[in-house]
Amino acid sequence: MRTIFEAELTQLGEDLVAMSRLVEAAMADAGTALLTGDVALAEQVIAADRAVDALEQDLDERCIALLAQQQPVATDLRTVVTALRMSASLERMGDLARHIATVARLRYPTPAAAQPLGETFAAMHDAANRVAQRTTRMLSTHDLDVAEKLERDDDLLDGLLEEVFATVLAPSWEGSAQETVDATLLSRYFERFGDHGVSVARRMVYLVTGETAVPA
């Protein structure tokens, strides 16, 4: 019984890694679609989000089946409950990548992240990519040092969000209302993506060390 349960826990962990890899690809492509105005890539991200949603549903059902059949306690129980919560965060990260791709598609052929914000959004994309890569890495290696770096990328995203607002609200801003709306939404999507990455990381730290940080 115990061996089957351990195999099932390992499988849960692998599925979280698989979800995280999909999210990583979604963010990489969504940002590229946004920055280069690649509408085909944007549509690909939008279509691919269904796979993340399906993985979440499947993973959740298996968590509930595990709780029912194996009746785990202590750390095993926390592992299963944490997997449920991580899958919800990863699903939401997939949604946010899809939202970014949707803005890219709607604005085509005009690039949605144009000057003077192009560089800021490129930096947000880089930071979000690192958040996604580190989330996958934490999930696959349980290396807690990654959590600290991930928090720094999230801080960077918060700072870049402020930079977007400062640009948009400066007297020199000549963007249209559409550009202002896009900049507001896009920067928020990137920033929320970072928040969810931090949430996954903190749950992993808690699972491994039993020490809880302030929730993200």
Q: Please report, as ranges, the residues that interact with a second copy according to CB under 8 A.
A: 53, 57, 63-64, 67-68, 71, 73-74, 77-78, 81, 84-85, 88, 165, 168-169, 173, 175, 177-178, 180-181, 184-185, 188, 215
Closest distance to a second copy from the beta carbon of 71 (Å): 4
28/197 with CB nearer a second copy: 197
Name the 3-class secondary structure at 212. Answer: coil
| Alpha helices, DSSP H, located in 37-73 | 39-70
Closest distance to a second copy from the beta carbon of 25 (Å): 22
Closest distance to a second copy from the beta carbon of 67 (Å): 6
Closest distance to a second copy from the beta carbon of 184 (Å): 4
53/163 with CB nearer a second copy: 53
32/89 with CB nearer a second copy: 89
Closest distance to a second copy from the beta carbon of 180 (Å): 4
106/144 with CB nearer a second copy: 106
Length of the chain: 216
Cβ atoms within 10 A of the Cβ of 191, count? 21
126/195 with CB nearer a second copy: 195
Is 102 within 8 Å of 31 (Cβ atoms)? no
Is 44 within 8 Å of 97 (Cβ atoms)? no
Tokens of 18: 């698989």
Q: Tell me how far apart the terminal alpha carbons of the chain are, to the nearest angstrom.
A: 36
CB proximity list for 188: less than 8 A, separation 6 or greater: 161
